[in-house]
Amino acid sequence: MITSRPPALSTNERSSAFRTPLQERIFLDRYALKDERGVPIERHPEEMWQRVATAIAAVEPTEEKRREWSQRFFAAMQDFRFVPAGRILAGAGTGHTVTYYNCFCIPSPEDSRAGILDNLKLAVEIMARGGGFGVNLSSLRPRGSHIASVNGTSSGPCAWAELYSVATGDVIQQGGSRRGAAMIMLDDNHPDIEEFVTAKRHPGVLEHANLSVCVSDRLMGAVTTDAPWDLVWDGKVHKTIRARSLWNLIGESAWASAEPGVVFIDRYNKLSNTWYYETIRCVNPCGEEGLPPFGVCNLGALNLAAFVEDGTLDYAALADHARVAIRFLDDVIDASPYFLEENRQAQLGTRRTGLGTMGLADALLMLGVRYGSDASLEIIERIYRTIRDAAYAASCDLAEEKCAFPHFDREKYLQGEFIAQLPVDLRAKIEDQGIRNAVLLCQAPTGTTSLLAGVSSGIEPIFDFALVRRDRMGEHLIYHPLYQRWQAAHPHDPLPDSFVKAADLAPEEHVIVQATIQRYTDASISKTVNAPSHHTVHDVETLYHLAYDLGCKGVTYYRDGSRDAVLSHLDAKTDGSHLVAATSDARSQLRPRPRVLRGATHRVPTPVGTAFITLNHDDAGRLREIFVTVGRAGSDLAADAEAIGRLISLVLRIPTDVPHPDLLEAIIDQLAGIGGSNSLGFGAERVRSLADAVAKVLTSHTDPIGNGDVGAPHLDGAADRPADNHRTVLVSPRTSDLCPQCGEAACVWEEGCRKCYACGFSSC
């Protein structure tokens, strides 16, 4: 039995649960309880675990049960063995009326202006409380359809989808720290499906929403024979195309822009445990939960790496923690506030939980097994079979103790295709005791919470073993801790095959791992299939077919560099399946300004008067903006001073891979020594002009010691800890995107969404 009491910690003691500064920073920024000024009250994860455990156990029926399960929930969370989803960690026990659910599905909108706006209001209310949403817009008439009431034409679902995207990215800021998350879907036979599939090839279109196509079994069959494919709305055929033409279009767009993903919606409904009373119309923003209208995700993850010790995985402990986690997530259902009555009714009727995992790649590495190998698949099967069986057994025991979920129909539930694959003893247990939760398992993105726990994301392979830390003193090469530990013990030996990263795997290996885990998961999986830059459109289509043939419920694809390229033309020497990339303006957007910057104002005598030069920098010490003030407001001199500051600030916001110290050095070189008609001072202190004064202040910023060295890049193999007042910035040498939160080129595609290894941002 898992039981423990929280240790007493002094105010200044550093928790042993934190192995890196990034873990501690994410905890303090995202999950620690804060006062009204935003200052963390909690300084240690033990305090968070106790707060969360007490709040969730509070719904247990007796004081004795509340005390018992508060202790067992705390013990399960210790050492990040069980990690509830971010909304639970951030909200439970805080007194704030926020949802504990990460994501929701809203119904398809009524086909009218009022219906769409009412539907958008639901999305906004969900995001304002910290949730993401999914919506299927196939209920909207196609572009150009006649609207008799106004004698006009419809804009179509793609145009209306832009409203959802703008609300997600530009209107809603959740807790002031992150944007919302959205999944927009369209059926494969909607007349506007071709426009939808190609939407993201155009920069700036639907950029704050994930897109997926609801792919039917009928389309998959039609693709095989290249049959005609009717595009239908409201019972009327609007257009007929070739099925393979649509399939090619999906592959081309995924190749070019990593979207749309595909969800095999018929399979989802056929395999759903809730097949007899609800229809899955959409998935959540990252695809791990197929949901009915007003359905919710209720997420938590077992940290597989935490169950490996001395090269052995403790399956008994894993099963024990799975049982406790199911009770925890079942209690979340009763503890979470419901701001929409429809959400409450949908969840209380089904009692859906979403127990998943994180740290799979780390666990395999600790076991000395290559991710994606035959040996790894045997271990993966045992891991997820253990979790499945323990979770279902625990839910049956809960049903005996507290009653089954309200929509439970013993005969029909046991007819479900997934349930039919359970071991005989589990099916007998369901028949005898009922089951508390209709759906129990999914593999959700663990984004920021896996960074908090210090392990690999979800079921993804390790992204990279070498990362670059950038701070004001230059660049420092640091390593994945398991890689560094092995290198220290074997300094002269070649790296074992078990050290494999995402880029080393064949895309097919990604899919095979996903399909293996899907067999033991009753909901679905959020995972990104990484592919090399030389992958072709034909390869994408083949990969999507493989995912379908192996039993996946959906697939998300990312070709290395695809976000920096657009489709332009076909290579005449090929059959058209290989498309040539051209540069796009994917890097043309300026870095966002952080919400809060800190700085100092320098008072500097210059030949044109006393200047006040303000340098504002982020938590990593990187200069983000500069203000220059001299002379009276409204004067030509004041205008010129303002212009200098604005131009330097603009340069600092332009996306670039140039190391920050080198960029500052280049700015200083352009300004230093510019002379006017007068100068002030002598020798090294001589100031020749206002521009020269700015250069001297910038030099003092880059070189606090004052020795004139503006900080050349420096490589250091040690994963040394920076000073507490400097933020560690991790940037993979591989292709990565600019983070919309911190602006660093450290955003990668994992688990069907973006995740920043610099600041912990996650779009999920």
CA dist., res. 401 & res. 385, Å (int): 24
CA dist., res. 127 & res. 121, Å (int): 10
Residue appearing with tokens 């560094």: 484
- Nearest residue to 45 via CA among 21, 17, 9: 17
CA dist., res. 537 & res. 744, Å (int): 30
* Burial class of residue 648, CB neighbours in 10 A (0-12, 13-18, 19+): buried
Which residues, in sequence order, are bridge partners of residue 236? 233
Residue type, 428: A
Whether 163 and 205 have beta carbons less than 8 Å apart is answered as no
> Considering 286, 753, 759, 764, which one is annotated as catalytic?
286
The three-state DSSP-derived secondary structure of 548-600 is: HHCCCCEEEEEECCHHHEEEEEECCCCCCCCEEEEECCCCCCCCCCCCCCEEE
How far is C-alpha 89 from the chain's CA centre? 16
- Nearest residue to 460 via CA among 533, 422, 509, 408: 509
> Considering 47, 288, 665, 751, which one is annotated as catalytic?
288
Whether residue 286 lies in the annotated active site: yes
Q: What are phi and psi of 706, to 5 degrees?
A: 90, 20
Whether 48 and 32 have beta carbons less than 8 Å apart is answered as yes
Helix/strand/coil percent split, the chain, to 5: 40, 20, 40
CA dist., res. 134 & res. 196, Å (int): 16
Whether 443 and 458 have beta carbons less than 8 Å apart is answered as yes
CA dist., res. 70 & res. 66, Å (int): 6
Whether residue 284 lies in the annotated active site: yes
Record the tokens describing residue 538, joined without a space: 């034909």
CA dist., res. 77 & res. 74, Å (int): 5
> Is it true that the peptide bond before 260 is cis, omega within 30 degrees of 0?
yes
> Considering 189, 210, 273, 284, which one is annotated as catalytic?
284
- Nearest residue to 579 via CA among 525, 519, 534: 534
CB hemisphere CA count around 526 (13 angstroms): 35
| Strand 132-136, strand 579-583: pairing | unpaired
Query: In sequence order, what DSSP letters do the residues of 503-536 get, joined into one string?
Result: GGS-HHHHHHHHHHHHTT-SS-B--EEEE-TT--
Question: What number of other Cβ atoms are within 10 A of residue 410's Cβ?
Answer: 13
Catalytic residues: 284, 286, 288
